[in-house]
């Protein structure tokens, strides 16, 4: 029985998708729920699971091609239920390989051809691979930085066992991590526009840049470019910076970090403390949580905080929803989950939508000041720069060694002026400097 697979709708507002990479080729067998194609949209890349077990008969859309949701993209010869345990005798059932043309009469009710396909397209892949993952497997995979989906399972029904994880880990980081990166590479280059030396599909997106060649744009790169130009063109950026004494909050974080990681599995960085201060300052300066519209300044009801995360090949800004309702601990876990997902390239549309303000943790590589571009449709973006120990002259004229951090704000000057922006920054500074080890996470 032939099943036609259509372009899934990867989100409520998404109307088209680009075939980023075929993970299976014509003739390859595919298991139900096994990812067989990677699709990218303007917001997200997702591996699409097969709704049936069978063999890929035909691929209807080339890599790099963009088609509307619901458009047929592949035909899979389904292995009959009875045939799954005994494939050989079942062969005649689909032997009349009635030529490619036969995909037109869609015999199977394709669950993925309408809105219902959305859930399975995004969720089922991850869920089916993780459903059988025992707590030990999850823990070991996390400890060894392995993606469970990239590990071959030897347990009952192909379950990945703890030993499988350890075996994979013992094969060395290059083997498995390489595989993980390959399978999660954001977008394979579109072949047509790169007549010269197209990187083989499955390799990392950019690989080694070769001087004198053009690197074709990935979907993600193109989107980033468009958004940046759009923001810079429409929103007049103004910029300001404050220096914040984070000595006490740093002490607090140092005191709590081991226990926190032990209890939650996530690292405790300065980020959640900073976000907590930001959302409190946004409450004090609600215009900073607004946006410019043709009708006027819209002040958002919710505080949904975007975190800019730089990946090797692109930038993503997942959003902590209702960040003002979370404690520092809750923020740390929410941010940890999003960062984890981002690194595994598993962010869904919902993770990326709805941001009202953005934080950029820019200091990891030592940046001391930066002028970030506002995420379109928001009033500002604030950065955390590197923490530096400095001699500081204090209010009583004494000199002390303190841990100092710059925080830079880019603001949409259409929405607020310097008065509000500097008030916001001063408030943020005050709040962070008040935090200390006596607080509760």
Partner 1 sequence: MAVSSSNATSTVMNNVEAVRATLYEALKNDDRTVILGEDVGARGNVFLITKDFINEFGSQRIIDTPIAEASIVGIAVGMAMEGLRPIAEIQFADFIYPAFNQIVGEAAKTRYRSNGEYTCPMVIRTPYGGGVRGALSHSVSIEALFYHVPGLKIVAPAFPADVKGMLNTAIDDNDPVLFLEHKKTYRLIKGEVPDGHYTIPFGKANVLKEGTQLTVVSYGLYVHWALEAAQKLQEEGVSVEVIDLRSIRPMDKGTILRSVEKTRKLLVIHEDNKFGGIGAEISAMVAENALFHLDAPIRRLCGPDVPAMGYALPLEEEFMSSPGEMAEAMRELVRF
**The two three-digit tokens of residue 268, written as one number:** 């405790």
Q: Please, which of residues 185-204 interact with partner 1 by CB under 8 A?
A: none
The binder of partner 1 chosen from 90, 116, 155, 167 (CB under 8 A): 155
- DSSP SS3 for 37: strand
CB nearer to partner 1: pick between 127 and 163: 163
How far apart (Å, rounded) are the C-alpha atoms in residues 151 and 159?
10
Tell me how far, at minimum, the Cβ of 340 lies from partner 1, in Å: 16
Does residue 272 contact residue 439 with C-beta atoms inside 8 Å?
no
Tell me how far, at minimum, the Cβ of 413 lies from partner 1, in Å: 50
The residue among 335, 289, 290, 282 whose CA lies nearest residue 308 is 335
Residue count, binding to partner 1 (CB under 8 A):
12
CB nearer to partner 1: pick between 141 and 425: 141
Tell me how far, at minimum, the Cβ of 10 lies from partner 1, in Å: 32
CB nearer to partner 1: pick between 163 and 417: 163
Residue 350 designated active-site: no
CB nearer to partner 1: pick between 32 and 139: 139
The binder of partner 1 chosen from 32, 144, 159, 237 (CB under 8 A): 159
The binder of partner 1 chosen from 29, 134, 313, 367 (CB under 8 A): 134
Tokens 């051809």 sit on residue = 113
Residue 348 contacts partner 1 per CB under 8 A: no
Does residue 360 contact residue 318 with C-beta atoms inside 8 Å?
no
Residue 135 contacts partner 1 per CB under 8 A: yes
**Which range in 24-32, 128-136, 220-228, 342-350 contacts partner 1 by CB under 8 A?**
128-136
The binder of partner 1 chosen from 32, 139, 251, 414 (CB under 8 A): 139
Which of 144, 237, 302, 413 is catalytic? The answer is: 413
Q: Please, which of residues 71-100 interact with partner 1 by CB under 8 A?
A: none
Does residue 189 contact residue 64 with C-beta atoms inside 8 Å?
yes
Strand order in the sheet with 16-22: 45-49, 35-40, 16-22, 66-68
Length of the chain: 441
CB nearer to partner 1: pick between 162 and 297: 162
φ, ψ dihedrals at 166, nearest 5°:
-65, -35
Which of 147, 396, 417, 427 is catalytic? The answer is: 417
Residue 162 contacts partner 1 per CB under 8 A: yes
Rg (CA), the chain: 25
**Alpha-helical runs (H) found in 106-204:** 116-119, 125-131, 135-143, 162-170, 173-184
Q: How many CA atoms lie within 13 A of 264 on its CB side?
A: 20
CB nearer to partner 1: pick between 139 and 257: 139
Taken in order 321, 327, 332, 337, the sign of the CA dihedral is negative
How far apart (Å, rounded) are the C-alpha atoms in residues 287 and 307?
19
How far apart (Å, rounded) are the C-alpha atoms in residues 313 and 315?
7
> Residues near 43 by Cβ (< 8 Å), separated by ≥ 6?
10, 11, 14, 223, 349, 352, 353
**Which range in 33-41, 137-145, 237-245, 378-386 contacts partner 1 by CB under 8 A?**
137-145
**Which range in 71-79, 160-168, 235-243, 280-288 contacts partner 1 by CB under 8 A?**
160-168
- DSSP SS3 for 299: strand
**Which range in 74-82, 131-139, 295-303, 423-431 contacts partner 1 by CB under 8 A?**
131-139
Tell me how far, at minimum, the Cβ of 184 lies from partner 1, in Å: 25
**Which range in 43-51, 72-80, 155-163, 195-203 contacts partner 1 by CB under 8 A?**
155-163
The residue among 78, 75, 73 whose CA lies nearest residue 102 is 75
Residue 145 designated active-site: no
Instruction: Residue 80: count other Cβ atoms within 10 Å of its Cβ.
Output: 13
The binder of partner 1 chosen from 161, 179, 231, 383 (CB under 8 A): 161
Give the binding site for partner 1 (CB under 8 A). 134-139, 155-156, 159, 161-163
Looking at the annotation, which residues are catalytic? Answer: 413, 417
């Amino acid at each position: 029985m032939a099943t036609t697979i259509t372009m899934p709708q990867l989100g409520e507002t998404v109307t088209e998708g680009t075939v980023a990479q075929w993970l299976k080729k014509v003739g390859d067998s595919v298991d139900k729920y096994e990812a067989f194609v990677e699709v990218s949209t303007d917001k997200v890349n997702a591996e699409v699971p097969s709704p049936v077990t069978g063999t890929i008969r035909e691929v209807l859309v080339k890599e790099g091609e963009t088609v509307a949701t619901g458009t047929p993209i592949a035909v899979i010869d389904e292995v009959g239920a009875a045939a799954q345990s005994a494939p050989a005798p079942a062969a005649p059932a689909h032997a009349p390989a009635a030529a490619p043309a036969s995909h037109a009469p869609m015999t199977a009710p394709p669950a993925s051809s309408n809105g219902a396909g959305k859930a399975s397209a995004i969720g089922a892949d991850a869920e089916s691979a993780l459903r059988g993952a025992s707590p030990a497997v999850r823990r070991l995979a996390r400890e060894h930085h392995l993606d469970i989906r990239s590990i071959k399972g030897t347990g009952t029904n192909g379950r990945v066992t703890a030993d499988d994880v350890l075996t994979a880990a013992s094969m060395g980081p290059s083997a498995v991590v390489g595989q993980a990166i390959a399978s999660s590479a954001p977008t394979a280059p579109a072949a047509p526009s790169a007549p010269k030396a197209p990187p083989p599909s499955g390799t990392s997106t950019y690989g080694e840049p070769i001087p004198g060649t053009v690197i074709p744009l990935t979907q993600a790169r193109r989107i980033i470019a468009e958004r940046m130009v759009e923001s810079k063109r429409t929103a007049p950026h103004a910029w300001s910076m404050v220096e914040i004494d984070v000595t006490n909050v740093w002490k607090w974080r140092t005191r709590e970090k081991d226990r926190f990681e032990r209890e939650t599995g996530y690292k405790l960085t300065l980020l959640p403390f900073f976000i907590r201060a930001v959302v409190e300052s946004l409450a004090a300066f609600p215009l900073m949580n607004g946006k410019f519209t043709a009708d006027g300044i819209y002040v958002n009801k919710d505080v949904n905080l975007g975190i800019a995360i730089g990946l090797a090949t692109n930038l993503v800004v997942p959003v902590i929803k209702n960040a003002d309702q979370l404690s520092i601990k809750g923020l740390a876990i929410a941010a940890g989950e999003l960062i984890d997902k981002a690194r595994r390239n598993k962010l869904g549309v919902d993770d990326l939508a709805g941001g009202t303000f953005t934080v950029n943790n820019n200091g990891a590589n030592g940046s001391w000041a930066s002028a970030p571009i506002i995420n379109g449709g928001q009033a500002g973006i604030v950065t955390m720069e590197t923490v530096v120990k400095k001699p500081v002259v204090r209010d009583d004229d004494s000199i002390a060694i303190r841990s100092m951090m710059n925080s830079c704000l880019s603001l949409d000057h259409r929405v607020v002026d310097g008065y509000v922006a500097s008030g916001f920054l001063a408030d943020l500074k005050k709040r962070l400097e008040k935090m200390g080890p006596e607080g509760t996470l």
